[in-house]
Chains A and B, each alone.
Chain A
Amino acid sequence: MSTETVEITCIACPVGCDVSIDVEDGEIQSIEGNTCPRGAEYAKEEYRNPTRILPTTARVTGGVLPRVPVKSAQPMPKPKLEDAMVEIAAVEVEAPVELGDVIVENVCDTGVDIVATRDLPAAEDGPKAVE
């Protein structure tokens, strides 16, 4: 039988309670330190399956900028963030790009797509920063 205590800072609101979870054989036994039910809910989820939105950029050719901002369309597993960065780094898309365009499908087999978060016009269509 293995027991452990996991410390989690709740981010459900600005108070930032330090929540501790007692775990026995992977089963949550008790949750302490939260001052509201949202804290317990957050801590449970953060322990079982921590997920994050991944915001980054992808390379673009022929655009008004050489990068387009992208994000994971849904929260993705936290342990996969760094692998996803590498996969996105290898991609190059062509302008124009539209907000919502899928840049990487099913990144790192997470089932989550990486999508553009803005319109990026092609250089000859759009304005330029410095001529």
Chain B
Amino acid sequence: MNASTDVIVIGGGVIGTAIARELSQYTVDVVLLEAAPDVCTGTSKANTALLHAGFNADPAKLKGRLNVRGNELYHERIQHELDVPIEWRGALVVATEESERPKLQSLLEKGRDNGIEDLEIVEGERLQDLEPTLHDDAIAALWAPTAGLVNPFELTAAFANNAVENGASVELNAEVTDITETGDTFRVETVTGDIEADVVINAAGLYADEVSAMVGVDDFEITPRRGEYYLYDKKMDVDVQRTIFPVPSEVSKGIVVTPTDEGNVMIGPNAEEVGDPTEKATTREGLDEVLAGAQKTVPDLSKDDVIREFAGLRPAIKETGDFRIQIEREEPGFINAAGIQSPGLASAPAIAEYVADLVADLRGDLTEDPTFDPHYSGPPKVRHLSHAEHAALIEEDPDYGQIICRCESVTEGEIRDAINQPVGARTINAIKRRVRPGAGRCQGGFCQPRVVEILAEELGVDETEIKLEDDGSEVLIGETKELLLAENGEEVRADD
């Protein structure tokens, strides 16, 4: 790791990587520090994956303004620049009781005030056409065609990879342990070494309060809020076309039913405050609440065809309920990008733009780098190719002809690509996030041994060193026979 740089970004979630990429278009040196072995391992990996239209955004709050701007940026820039699945499926806020109609109207008006285009109240046949799976009791809905969905794993990896292609560096396994002031710079101490910078940006998600406190800014607290989800098999009969919200009540936003970019259906989240930023276990009660909530709008859903259940934590600042994105310290500079709960994903590019402006304020100016290339392409997706296209690809590289994950049709070539990206995958889950082996209905039962083998070969390590995610998550403990020989060492030697 370099001993000094211009700007340090702490945290490799979608916010940190978006900021690093944004800054990489200027002539500042940027180093991103991530504690885990991969980017996208915290809040960014377990959420509803939505690009909210912004009709529910409070313009008085920062998150309201950034949501609207973020959605614009996805439409205008991100979807053209980054090779990431983004689909504008639109969202419906569905009323199932007459008493909910006034709320739809107020959401419509709020949305129009926020400048959201094409909002309308739909009912009857038009509503059924938009979403045939809806409950018979659905009487009307707010229709927001500019709402979208994104693959958050590929998005975060694309931000990180594009940032590195444009000169930023991303340091994985670099947990920050302390920040000290050394005159006009901050010295950021990590488990793998120290690094100094004029400006430090805190995008540490669930740990943002701890990082902020390292420079003495300790007037806020992150409260992890757990949300649980079910993910369904692609081939499920219940075919959901749009993102479906119930009408929010005073106490709850309700359970969302949404398609994913890969054609699965996902439901969730509930919301429960937990004390600990590692408390990512799903619970019986929580999952039952999620299913019951989803059935209010789509009654055909059940536990059949569930292929995955998971929980994610949103880093909320309870006191304000808002993002906290501001300059906290000048000379040296410290910027918090904290409290990024929903709609954080939808806001990410706008947050990056906003933070870049703050960095410009701190440094006087930012100079554009003429070599910046905003375009990034990931590995080919064999599952989306025609037979002819696939045949041509195999001619280029035979590794695309060896299918490793049968559920998602992922080839050896794609897996090797994921490992060899600028911010390459180093774990089983990192590969899954980038190119999907193990993300299908058998959940890696078939392909995991093969993924482990390829990963070990590419990294030049033993298979027993391959991890699912963080340190300590090695999937294999050793070779067969070792336990027997260790337990009976003397006997064996005597027999020899």
Contacts and interface: CB of A to CB of B under 8 A. Distances in A.
- The DSSP consensus for interface residues of chain B is helix
Interface string B99-140: 000000000000000000000000000000000000000000
The 4 closest A-B pairs by CB, nearest first: A89-B481, A89-B484, A86-B488, A90-B492
Interface string A54-93: 0001010000000100000000000000000111011000
Nearest to A67: B480
Interface in A76-131: 85-87, 89-90, 129-130
Given A90-B481, A90-B485, A130-B450, 4 more contacts: A86-B484, A86-B492, A89-B492, A129-B453
The bracket for how many chain B residues form the interface is 10 to 19
Interface size of A as a range: 10 to 19
B250 interface: no
Nearest to B491: A86
Contacts of A86: 484-485, 487-488, 491-492
Interface string A1-21: 000000000000000000000
Nearest to A108: B495
13 contacts: A59-B481, A86-B488, A86-B491, A86-B492, A87-B492, A89-B481, A89-B484, A90-B481, A90-B496, A130-B402, A130-B404, A130-B453, A130-B457
A27 to B, nearest CB: 35
Contacts of A67: 480
A67 to B, nearest CB: 7
A84 to B, nearest CB: 10
B165 interface: no
Contacts of B488: 86
Interface of B: 402, 404, 412, 450, 453-454, 457, 480-481, 484-485, 487-488, 491-492, 495-496
Nearest to A83: B491
Given A86-B491, A86-B492, A90-B492, A130 B412 contact: yes
Contacts of B481: 59, 89-90
A33 to B, nearest CB: 37
Given A129-B453, A130-B412, A90 B495 contact: yes
B19 to A, nearest CB: 38
Contacts of A129: 450, 453
Contact of B454 (A57, A89, A90, A130): A130
Contact of A87 (B402, B480, B487, B495): B495
B412 A85 contact: no
B484 A85 contact: yes
Contacts of A57: 480
Nearest to B453: A130
A75 B114 CA distance: 80
B464 to A, nearest CB: 12
A89 B479 CA distance: 11
B450 to A, nearest CB: 6
A87 B492 CA distance: 7
Nearest to A59: B481
A130 B481 CA distance: 24
Contacts of A87: 492, 495
A67 B453 CA distance: 15
B433 to A, nearest CB: 21
Contacts of B450: 129-130
Nearest to B457: A130
A87 B488 CA distance: 10
A90 B480 CA distance: 11
Contacts of B484: 85-86, 89
Contacts of A59: 481
B181 to A, nearest CB: 51
Contacts of B491: 86
A29 B450 CA distance: 57
Nearest to A91: B481
A55 B450 CA distance: 25
Contacts of B492: 86-87, 89-90
B414 to A, nearest CB: 14
Most chain A beta-carbon neighbours within 10 Å: one of B404, B450, B454, B484: B484
A89 B485 contact: yes
Nearest to B415: A130
A95 to B, nearest CB: 17
A86 B496 CA distance: 12
Most buried by A among B453, B485, B488, B496: B488
A130 B411 CA distance: 11
A86 B488 CA distance: 7
B373 to A, nearest CB: 33
A85 B485 CA distance: 10
A44 B488 CA distance: 33
Contacts of A89: 481, 484-485, 492
Nearest to B398: A131
A16 B363 CA distance: 82
A43 to B, nearest CB: 32
Contacts of B487: 86
A130 B496 CA distance: 35
Contacts of A90: 481, 485, 492, 495-496
Contacts of B496: 90
Contacts of B404: 130
Instruction: Give the most central of A57, A85, A90: most B CB within 10 Å.
Output: A90
Nearest to B492: A90
A98 B325 CA distance: 68
A90 B487 CA distance: 12
A59 B488 CA distance: 17
